[in-house]
Amino acid sequence: MINTIVSGIRASGKLHIGNYLGALKQFVELQNSQSSQCYFFIADLHALTTPFKPQELSQNTLDVAADYLAAGIDPQKSVFFIQAHVPAHTQLSWIFESITPLGELKRMTQFKDKSKQHPENIDVGLLTYPCLMAADILLYKATTVPVGEDQKQHVEMTRIIARKFNSRFGETFPEPKTFELKPLRVRSLTDPEKKMSKTPHQNKFSTRQVGDDGAIFLDDKPEEIKRKFKKAVTATEGKQKSLGVENLFLLLEHFGTSEQKTFFAEQLKDNTIQFSQLKDTLATDIALYFKEFREKKKQLLAKPQEIIDILNTGAMKAQETAAHTIAEVKSKIGLI
């Protein structure tokens, strides 16, 4: 039985190594599984629920697309497209909004959190976000949705909406299961109490925005990676193994050699470790790991129309499946 997998990513900034380890690398592995049909899309409509600039949104969309392609997402194996290029997403979302109780949406954690973060930008889109996400998933009758811990509630809401629709109009949608991505929390280099972020956040000890220096982006040049690692925090109130140190060792686990892991682990245990040496090692290893990625992404962005053509082809494939689902839904709810 083919497992249908659906996942979207917001077009809200460049991808960093946390995004890669926590999601993108695993997506490539899922794509290469012969038992899976994968739909990967850039969620440009979801990006509208937080403050944005039109020019940045379009550039971010191309940038994320290039990241996915350079990292190994293959348009021949996966359906890769832009959310807004398939109008059925918003069609089905409106239908779901019409059967979803207001109270269910107000209880969503993301709505509560983002309302606090951006009190000046509490709009209807933020409230109905879960209905659009449910449409994203159910439009392709996904059986599995790869998510991190912070998205589990949205998948559960999708299951509730599917159950509600099926109960009222007849069996139509599967109730998708969550595929839990391997738990991974890559922290900001400059503020280890926070996750590494695509967008700048404020260090609690100052008013400076630290997102850019705290994150290693996938296309950062070697000298930029080295500069950022030099700023990486290692000491916290005199503790030997602070959150910053744990973060560096997490990165060493994924990008270092077995010899390097043993060497630095022994030094840490003996309290003889030189963090400058560890940082230099990580900078070199990560720069080398993403060398081919950087070259491929540069080539892709040099010909943006080719990226758009790939996304348009993916949208046509997605629309074929989406059209069948919409036709079935319309028939069941009585739309002519």
Which of the listed ranges 11-25, 44-58, 143-157, 212-226 does the model predict with the highest average pLDDT? 212-226
Alpha carbon distance 111, 128 (integer Å)? 9
- Find, among 100, 153, 107, 164, the residue nearest to 131 by Cα: 100
If you average pLDDT over residues 255-267, what whole number do you get?
96
Please return the burial class of 115, using the count of CB atoms within 10 Å of its CB with bins 0-12, 13-18 and 19+: middle
The mean pLDDT of 77-81, rounded to a whole number, is 97
Give the residue range(s) of CATH 1.10.240.10 domains in the chain. 211-293
Kindly tell me if the per-residue pLDDT of 207 is higher than 50. no
Q: What is the mean pLDDT of residues 285-290?
A: 98
Residues near 167 by beta carbon (within 8 Å), at least 6 away in sequence: none
Alpha-carbon distances, residue 237 vs 23, 242, 276 (angstroms) = 32, 8, 19
Residue 191 or 201, more confident? 191
Task: Identify the CA nearest to 314 among candidates 95, 73, 101.
Answer: 73
pLDDT at 108 > cutoff 70: yes
Q: Give the pLDDT confidence score for residue 201 in this predicted structure.
A: 43
199 pLDDT band, cuts 50/70/90, is low
List the catalytic residues. 114, 195, 198
User: What pLDDT does 183 receive?
Assistant: 62
- How much is the pLDDT for 17? 96
SS3 77: coil
Contact 179, 212 (CB under 8 A): no
Is residue 197 very low, low, confident or very high in pLDDT (cuts 50, 70, 90)? Answer: confident
Is domain 211-293 given the CATH code 3.40.50.1100 in the classification? no
CA angle 61, 218, 117 (to 5 degrees): 60
Q: Which fold has domain 3-184+304-333?
A: Rossmann fold (3.40.50)
How would you classify the pairing of strands 3-10 and 36-43? parallel
Report pLDDT digits (tens) over 113-165: 777 777 776 788 888 999 999 999 999 999 999 877 667 888 999 999 999 99
Show Cβ contacts of residue 125 under 8 Å, excluding neighbours closer than 6 positions. Answer: 48, 49
The Cβ of residue 106 has, within 10 Å, a number of other Cβ atoms equal to: 11
Let me know: does 186 contact 30? Beta carbons within 8 Å: no
Are the C-beta atoms of residues 81 and 311 closer than 8 Å to each other?
yes
Outline which parts of the chain fall under CATH 3.40.50.620: 3-184+304-333
CA 292 to chain CA mean position, Å: 21
Number of CB atoms found within 10 A of residue 132's CB: 23
Three-state DSSP at 332 gives: helix
